Chains A and B, each alone.
Chain A
């Protein structure tokens, strides 16, 4: 019913953006497309703009900010726009000439100021704009493919050129709030070229990758609509992982197939207007160039399976995790992990599990793309459990409002307008979200707070900013709310805060989650529980394709439960979507059926 995706049908512009909800297979699709194009002799560059890039896992080489050739694929180069690294380079460029001329302590304050989320975001964005406008670089490639971070982050990245361009246009007193970005005014030209390139259908194709499931299609629809608004009209949808055939007598196989089909039948209306292609479900993980080359031309590609011995006694149910948290009286519980691994579901289940024990719980999400209302359908229906969502747009409005009213009486109209201009700077968003986040954490005095965080990269930036703000606050003369002051010490206290890492039993999510754990450890936060979500291994099926997927999971389940995690909980793949309070209770108790 859908035409099978092949790059030759779709690729006719130099720039290709792959976006979509976390975990839908953006990286695999983008990499496979890049390899296919390079194999036809085109010069191709693939760029990851995800702060938690996986390109190095796929190609098995070190990849940094500068393009490197992929040895196993002639004509293909790859690079990561690593925001932290871009910011570090930028900082060094600004500071190094002054290391000898200014005292060390003074240089240190410069470094601190240039470590904020604002600098990090803009430095990454600057590099990104460069890739779209640097003629010398562009002339070296036929195609530049962008494997982008999950939708929320990408929308922001793609909307920034417009945001900055109009901010610069409207600003009457120059780019005052650009702080570390002195000279941004001169880049106006570059930003408007970026906007132009993005909105030219001869230059740019937006590829919305989705799974045949409701939440990722909703998100594809949202991205499609928002990016059309900034002029990215040339769009294509790829439905990734479509099960072609199934075994009617097998409960799991049938449920798997039916769920996909009903999701497709209920596809959001606006998404249907976009040209659509499908990629068949494959039971092997798409790392390594060999597997990538199979993605577009073989479904029957046989998978090599190594015998893996699992110690199943190391695998617990979600109920065990909930019991542990209740017993230790954890006050703040984060779910973290790559996008699309089911953090929102797991956070919801933990919240329901605790509420069932008579504990007062507040559940919230910082994921711009989360659908908590959707997951619960009724808001605040249960009195021990309250739900909120941290919406960046609303937070920015509230923050502006608060700052302006705080100053209303001291300032005249003109000065207020001046202040408002600074507040319209795109970097205000980070501050606003950060403050709201701190306020939610503060609620843990009265109730247990379960926080479903945005995908990995974003979360790390948030935690990093917690660190740099914390330093800044200690020397700030402004009025700092108590919640902000308390934030970092709270997050680091293992008696109070627990981080649950959520992953799928697959290569990329496990590798990425392992890096996340290392990053958290560096921030002095030690995750104990891991949740392996949507495991086919923990179900029983006779479908050969699903079975080989279940077999392939074992190596990753073993790695998590026996190597990296202190305690592991495993949640079987669910034949029905778990929505609402009562269904969450089923999920908590579902364990292994081996």
Chain B
């Protein structure tokens, strides 16, 4: 099973609802991770504002930060290698890395099931 580590920019909260505006991208990512974690997949998330140590201890991340500055965030590591720089994984990427059906990450609301 692949391990995913996500290095966030300095955020107030992972869903972004306490920022100046709600970023739908952040909400999507937070929900996808929430669902994957519930399924037992190993995903770690580090927020620059409250976990800066992680950005120093992971040498590769630190190096990218020195080269590209804060725009490199969010940064995604897959099995210890830098996989994405400057954007979050799409639901399709999450799904293919972990071998799950992408539908499981954005399930339709079970609305009007009986009709």
Query: Is the A/B pair a real complex?
Result: yes
Structural contact, A419 and B19, CB atoms closer than 8 A? no
- CB pair A102 B49 closer than 8 Å: no
Within 8 A of A (CB), among B8-53: 9-28, 30-31, 34-35, 38, 47-53
A177 pairs with B13, CB closer than 8 A: yes
| Assembled-state Cα–Cα distance A411/B53 (Å) | 32
Indicate if the CB atoms of A480 and B21 lie closer than 8 Å. Answer: yes
Cβ of A477 under 8 Å from chain B: yes
Alpha-carbon gap, A471 to B61, bound state (A): 25
Bound-state Cα–Cα, A251 to B49, Å: 62
Cβ of B70 within 8 Å of any chain A Cβ, yes or no, is yes
Q: Is A479 an interface residue (CB 8 A)?
A: yes
Q: Contacts A411-B31, A413-B109 given: A105-B18 contact, CB under 8 Å?
A: no
Q: Are A412 and B109 in contact (CB under 8 A)?
A: yes
Question: B3 at interface (Cβ–Cβ under 8 A)?
Answer: no
Contacts of B109 in A (CB 8 A): 408-409, 411-413
Q: What interface size band does chain A fall in?
A: 35 or more
Give the distance to chain B from A179, nearest Cβ to Cβ, in Å: 4
The stretch from A157-165, A382-390, A422-430, A553-561 touching chain B is: A422-430
Q: How far is the CA of A269 from the CA of B27 in the complex (A)?
A: 48
With a cutoff of 8 Å between Cβ atoms, the chain B residues found around residue A469 in the complex are 20
Contact A411 to B65, CB < 8 A, known contacts A110-B48, A422-B18, A469-B20: no
Min Cβ gap B78→A in Å is 22
What residues of A have a CB within 8 angstroms of the CB of B23 in the complex?
476-479
Residues in B neighbouring A427, C-beta threshold 8 A: 12, 18
Interface string of B63-91 (1 = CB under 8 A from A): 00110011000000000000000000000
Given contacts A109-B70, A113-B12, contact A180 B49 (CB under 8 A): yes
Docked CA distance A181–B50 (Å)? 7
* Set of chain A residues within 8 Å of B9, measured between Cβ atoms: 109
A114-B10 in contact (CB<8A): yes
Please tell me if the beta carbons of B69 and A105 are within 8 angstroms of each other in the complex.
yes
- The answer for the CA separation of A179 and B18 in the assembled complex, in Å, is 9
Stretch in contact with the other chain, from A93-101, A219-227, A291-299:
A93-101
Q: Which residues of B contact A177 (CB under 8 A)?
A: 12-15, 17-18
| B27 engages A411 (CB within 8 Å) | yes
Which residues does chain A contribute within 8 Å of B66, judged by CB atoms?
Answer: 103
Q: Which of A93-138 contact B (CB under 8 A)?
A: 94-95, 97-98, 101-103, 105-106, 108-110, 112-114, 116, 118
Q: Is the CB of B27 within 8 A of A407?
A: yes
Minimum Cβ distance to chain B for residue A429 (Å)? 10
Structural contact, B110 and A412, CB atoms closer than 8 A: yes
Most B Cβ at <10 Å: residue of A109, A406, A484: A109
A484 near B49 (CB under 8 angstroms)?
Answer: no
Whether B52 contacts A94 by the Cβ 8 Å rule is yes
Please report the C-alpha to C-alpha distance between residue A524 and residue B11 in the assembled complex, in whole angstroms.
28
Q: Are A431 and B62 in contact (CB under 8 A)?
A: no
> Known: A102-B62, A102-B65, A425-B13. Contact between A431 and B34, CB under 8 A?
no
A interface majority secondary structure: helix
Residue from the set A105, A403, A478 with the largest chain B CB neighbour count within 10 Å: A478
From residue B68, how far is it (CB to closest CB) to chain A in Å? Answer: 9
Query: Taking each of B38, B50, B69, B106, which has the highest tally of chain A beta carbons within 10 Å of its own beta carbon?
Result: B50
Is B100 interfacial (CB 8 A cutoff)?
no
Q: Kindly report which residue of chain A lies nearest to residue B51, judged by CB atoms.
A: A182
| B21 lies within 8 A of A418 (CB) | no
Question: In whole angstroms, what is the CA distance A428 to B51 when docked?
Answer: 22
Is the pair A180, B50 in contact by a Cβ cutoff of 8 Å? yes
Query: Distance in Å from the Cβ of A481 to the closest Cβ of chain B?
Result: 7
Q: Which residues of A contact B62 (CB under 8 A)?
A: 101-102
User: Contact at B24–A478, with CB atoms within 8 Å?
Assistant: yes
* Inter-chain contact B12/A118, CB cutoff 8 Å: yes
A102 and B50 contact, Cβ closer than 8 Å, known pairs A407-B27, A415-B31: no
Q: Counting CB contacts under 8 A, is A410 at the interface?
A: yes
Q: With a CB–CB cut-off of 8 A, which chain A residues contact B51?
A: 182
Contacts of B99 in A (CB 8 A): none
Q: Establish whether residues A431 and B20, one from each chain, have CB atoms under 8 Å apart when the complex forms.
A: yes
Checking B13, B19, B106 against A410 with a beta-carbon cut-off of 8 angstroms, the contacting residue is B106
**Residue contact A413 to B13, C-beta cutoff 8 Å:** no
A118, A173, A177, A406 interface centre (most CB from chain B within 10 Å) = A177
User: How far is the CB of A265 from the nearest CB of chain B, in Å?
Assistant: 47
- Find chain A residues with CB under 8 A from B22 CB: 403, 406-407, 478-479
CB neighbours (8 Å) of A409 from chain B are 109
Q: Does A436 contact B (CB under 8 A)?
A: no
Q: Is the CB of A116 within 8 A of B24?
A: no
Q: How far is the CB of A200 from chain B (nearest CB, A)?
A: 33
Residue of B nearest to A177 (CB): B13
Query: Nearest CB to that of B49 among chain A residues?
Result: A113
B49:A179 contact, CB within 8 angstroms: yes
Query: Does A110 contact B21, Cβ atoms closer than 8 Å?
Result: no
Apart from A95-B52, A105-B69, A478-B16, what 7 extra A-B contacts exist at CB < 8 Å? A94-B50, A412-B109, A415-B31, A419-B15, A425-B13, A478-B25, A479-B24
A sample of 21 inter-chain contacts (CB < 8 A) reads A98-B55, A102-B52, A110-B49, A116-B12, A118-B12, A178-B13, A178-B50, A179-B13, A179-B18, A182-B51, A411-B106, A412-B106, A412-B108, A413-B109, A413-B110, A414-B38, A418-B30, A431-B18, A478-B20, A479-B22, A484-B20
B residues apposed to A, CB below 8 Å = 9-28, 30-31, 34-35, 38, 47-53, 55-56, 62, 65-66, 69-70, 106-110
